[in-house]
A = this chain, B = another copy of it.
Amino acid sequence: MRSGEFATILRLKERFRSDAAAGVLLGIGDDAAVLEAKPFDKLVWTIDEQVEKTHFRRDLAGWIDIGWRSFMAAASDLAAMGAEPWCALSALSLPADFEDEDLDALTRGQHAAAVRLGTSIVGGNLTRGELVTVTTTLLGTTDRPMLRSAARAGDEIWIAGRLGLAATGLFALERGLIDERLDGVKEAWLRPWARIGEGRHAAKRARALVDVSDGLAQDVGHMAEASQVRAVFDEKALRAHANRTGLDTVAELIALDPLEVMLGGGEDYVLAAASDVPLEGFWRAGVFAEGQGVALKRTGGRERELFELGYDHFRSRL
């Protein structure tokens, strides 16, 4: 970082101070933030860390994208609990030669994401480290926290959001593919959305909820396991979705199988719900059944077991 510490902290204060959330008694500038506890809601609390070379590379994404993505990734855990974001802290680890303008871009991305979700960053920590890490902890509120363990056999699998685009976009970015028809999927990876509204809707009507960050098969697999049921995706429904979103065409351009990226690719931050009633803004992707494991029901009717799909870099919740 080129500026001294003091100047840096002042700039960050300036950026984040304008939009302190309701109930925040003290924001950036002391040893900790101070909040007025809300007596009527349950608090939902999450932390997510994005690490250079594991979650992002400087040459593939701008710092503003990295700030945005890291904030949305953390907020997606609140969406997955059916909660509404309240406020956030951010811990940044930065190399000594990190440029001021890059820090400005990074925090601008965090700030923009926070504003879009109606929340704010009320404090944090800044430290030196050889690799950039962006850690976000968020508090949210909800009357009804949505667990992953409450799915029942007979529920259907409902998805909010477009599936497989981010993984396709990351593939294109990593290989340096330039084609304007790929811009949409690149954008899906660079600027994901935490689906707070859909999560709040699911909290009213659905039974169980998760977000998909490590791959549909894997994350819904966790849900099935926690609920002691079997998840069966419907190939026909997935292919129809790929057709609606244009994923099939884009994937074909770069020789990817749309079904594979939908089942295995993460970081779209879609929500997956178990519900016995249709959910507004969600599309149906399969069913939960008696048994265990995760399977794909082929167009012909046969079920294929799904193993080891998903980008497992052992990133997971404790």
Contact = CB atoms under 8 A, between A and B. Distances in A.
Nearest to A16: B318
A129 interface: yes
Interface string A46-79: 1111011111000000000000000000000110
Contact of A125 (B26, B48, B312): B48
Which of A51, A140, A211 gathers most chain B CB within 10 Å?
A51
Nearest to A87: B45
A293 B24 CA distance: 30
A89 B5 contact: no
Contacts of A78: 31-32
Given A30-B317, A31-B148, A47 B135 contact: yes
A285 to B, nearest CB: 19
A232 B90 CA distance: 34
Given A16-B318, A47-B124, A93-B51, A42 B36 contact: yes
A28 B145 contact: no
A54 B129 contact: yes
Contact of A37 (B31, B38, B47, B77): B38
A299 B123 CA distance: 40
Contacts of A316: 5, 9, 125-126
A134 B160 CA distance: 33
A317 B46 contact: no
A44 interface: yes
Which of A43, A80, A126 gathers most chain B CB within 10 Å?
A43
A243 interface: no
A127 B37 contact: no
A130 interface: yes
A123 B318 contact: yes
Range of interface residues on A (Cβ < 8 Å)? 35 or more
B29 A34 contact: no
A33 interface: yes
Contacts of A4: 314
B34 A91 contact: no
Interface in A190-243: 210-211, 226
Contact of A314 (B36, B39, B126, B140): B126
Contacts of A40: 37
A54 to B, nearest CB: 5
Contacts of A36: 42-43
A90 B137 CA distance: 10
A83 interface: yes
Contacts of A55: 127
A205 to B, nearest CB: 18
A34 to B, nearest CB: 5
A8 interface: yes
Nearest to A27: B318
B317 A125 contact: yes
Interface string A12-24: 1100100000000
5 contacts: A31-B317, A33-B46, A47-B89, A51-B128, A54-B127
